[in-house]
Structures are given as C-alpha cells and as structure tokens.
Amino acid sequence: MTTGSDHALNIPAQCPVSHEFNPFGGSYQEDPAGSLRKARHEQPVFYSPLLDYYVVTRYADIKAIFRDTTSFSAALTLEPITPLREPAIQKLVEHQFDLGPFLVNEDEPIHMRRRRALAEPLSPANVRAWDPYIRDLVTSYIDKFVKKGHADLVAELMWEFPATVALKFMGVPDTEIEQARQFAVGQIMFGFGRPTEEEQIAGCDGMGRYFNHAKNLVAKLKENTDVDGWVPFAIRASQQDPDTIDDRFLVSMMMSGTSAAHETTSNAGANALLTLMRNRGMWDEICEEPSLIPNAVEECLRYSASVVAWRRLCVKSTSIAGVEIPEGAKVLVVTASGSFDDEIFDEPERFDIHRSNAKQHFAFGFGTHTCLGAPLARLEMKIVLEEMSRRLPHIRLVPDQEFEYLPNTSFRGPQNLFVEWDPADNPLPSDRP
C-alpha cells in the first residue's frame, strides 16, 4: 500500500491506498479474511482505486459503522458495484423495472417501522415450528444419494432444499423454485461482481422478468390472504398500515427476500460442510456428540461466512480508525475480516467448534440491519449437520478437487463440493445398498 502519490484521487492525505486489493479474484475469493490479515494489523482502513471504495477490515470499526446509522447509509447496499452500461439500463426500461427498497438497503425511520411490522414470523419460537418440515425435506434429498457412495453436496443438497424452504416460507408455490434459483445467481454477479456488457444485459433481462413475475405473485397472494407465509403476513400488515407496507415494498420483499434466503443459506451450509470436512477431528466430534452442533454452526459462520462484506454510503464526514471518510464516499465493510480480528477472537485462524464467543461473528451483520432471517438460516444449518452426521459420519472430501467461487465482493460459497464414502459402511441398515 502507498500513501504519498495518490492525492489526485481526492482522498484524505493520511489515508492508505491499496492498488493491489482486488475482491474479484485471487486470494480474496479463496480466503477473504486471510487476504486482509496485514491490513487488519497495519492499515485497517484503506482506499481502493479499483473499486472507488474505502475498505474497512477491523472488528471495532465495522461495529462502529453499523451502529452509526446517522453517518452511514445502507442505501447503496444492493446497487450494482459495476455501473450499468446504457444497453443494460434500456433492458430494465423495457421491462418497466421499478424495484423499491427492501429492509437491507433502507434507512431510518422507515426501516425499523417495517422491520417491527414484519418480525413476528421470524421469531425464534415461530421458526422452530419449521423443524419437522425442514428435516423431512433434508432427509428426502439425502435419501437420493445416500446409497450411491458419492455426491456433489452443492448440486444435490445445499442448492436444492434452501430454495424450497425459502419459497415455502415466503408463501410461494413450489413451481417457482427454478426461477428463484436463476434469479439468485444472476443477482449476485449482477450486483456484486464485474459482469461484461453482455452479462449485464442478460442480468437486467432476468431482473426485469423476475420483477414482473413477482408483481404477479403478489397480486395473486393478495386475492387469498389466508395463505400461510411471510409475504401473505406482510399483505395483511399492509392492510392495517399501508403507509409502512405498500405494494412497491411487497414486490421488493418477494424478489429480494426469496433470493437472499436461498443464496445465503445455500452457501452457508456448503461452507460449513467443507470446513468440517477439512477439520476432520471437529467433524468426528459432532458425529459422536450432536449437542455440539449449535455452537459448531456459529463457528462455521465465523470461520467461513456466506456473506463476507456489506456496503455503506457515508452521508456525514466522519473518522474511522484515524482515517477521515468524506461525505459521499462509498465504504466496503468486510465483515469476514472483522470475524478474524485477534482483538476479539483468540487465535482466529484456528477452527474450533468449542469457541466460547463464536456467536460474536458478523455473518448476519450487526445492529439495526442484523439479518431478520438468521433464526431460519441457523435452523437449516443445524438440521443439515445433524442429518448428515447421523447418516454419513464416514463421508470425506474427494481428493485433489479445486473449489471455485463466483468472483464478487460480498457473497461466497463453493460452486461444487464433491464427497465420497463406502455405502456398505452406512450406519443405518436401511441406507445400505
């Protein structure tokens, strides 16, 4: 990193500058926290000319930004990090695309009003009622490969069941699963990667199609408000308080809520299974003692989160770690780096399912924008680990496989996770060939 020759970039003179930081490839994709280890200790806030963002890496500073909703706005959270080219914009115009804000990218006071209005279905008590449904669903997917002796746990498990859970929870029919999948992938690259012009056009076309599809779904659900689900719950809330929950918000909720619940949980589960397979002793421990699984979930979320960064817009000049962040500046808050801060976590690079403060991670954000869906995601991960460890404790990674990740700033999970085992050794007789 350098400081002296970058004043032409209109950044404060004392701010470190990194011309090397590239979140779209290399070590950041493999290990975002590890790639920022030196920055955490030496220059915890720096400017990236590649992104035109200030990058924040340390736990205390990340928490301060999340807390300071007066100085830092969530408004740009879902804006494409690579600006849209004109042909892509025109594609959105063709679809009459007009997506409103969702909880993740709006500020006070409306944010907390909406959050309170929508929180009840996601309370821990209400989420626990989903355990039998999720467990039956996970069991049905494991049934399909348990006797084979090999599987891709992304394609055959983790990419599958969270989509169904998300759509069921939202109140959407099973027939919409494939469209939700395609939208989720397109949104990650569209919003957080470096798509080509052709990829942007395709992404905008998909966004436009999904937007109109979501409008139609909301319209259908409004015709039958007795249906179970988060969106029907929101529709009923909108009838009581249309100023807080309006039609535009309902469409945003349908789009953003479904894709986020699917993508982030799919990646979180895949990351957890991969991490445990790489730390065999810990996997063996949860197989022998399932009561360790809840804290193992928290350590997996700390060690290998599916959401590694969030973005904020500085709307009031302020100082972070001695660096002046000017009004109008964009900030990349690398939460995965904060979850490896040795001021908070003892030996943070050691994976330890017994870690007493594992739950202090940033995998679900912090403060007023903490993920509302965290209880549901935790339950899904817990059930996956319980059922996999019960039925396939002898599972192992296929040797010498390389793991690929979508090149983007904020979301992380392996595209494939190949495992193998001897089905003759399956502990349940009914699972043997």
Taking only the tens place, the pLDDT of each residue in 391-423 is 999 999 999 999 999 999 999 999 999 999 999
**CATH domain 84-307+364-431 topology:** Cytochrome p450 (1.10.630)
Whether 324 and 268 have beta carbons less than 8 Å apart is answered as no
Q: How confident is the model at residue 85 (pLDDT cuts 50, 70, 90)?
A: very high
pTM for this structure? 0.94
- For residues 289 and 167, the model is more confident at 289
Nearest to 163 by CA among 270, 301, 250, 265: 265
Whether 409 and 36 have beta carbons less than 8 Å apart is answered as no
Q: In the prediction, which pLDDT does 258 show? A: 80
pLDDT tens readout for residues 346-371: 999 999 999 999 999 999 999 999 99
Asked, colleague to colleague, whether 1-67+308-362 and 84-307+364-431 share their fold, the answer is no
Q: CB-side exposure of 409: number of CA atoms within 13 Å?
A: 27
CA distances from 12 to 288, 320, 329 (A): 55, 12, 11
Domain ranges, ordered by start, for the chain: 1-67+308-362, 84-307+364-431
Q: How confident is the model at residue 179 (pLDDT cuts 50, 70, 90)?
A: low
- 1-67+308-362 has which CATH code? 3.30.43.20
Q: CB-side exposure of 128: number of CA atoms within 13 Å?
A: 3
Backbone angles phi, psi at 7, to 5 degrees: -65, -25
pLDDT tens readout for residues 7-36: 445 677 789 999 999 999 889 989 999 999
**What is the edge-to-edge ordering of all strands in the sheet holding 310-314?**
45-48, 53-56, 330-333, 310-314, 72-73
Q: In the prediction, which pLDDT does 13 show? A: 73
pLDDT tens readout for residues 312-332: 999 999 999 999 999 999 999
- Of 29-33, 186-190, 304-308, which range is least confident? 186-190
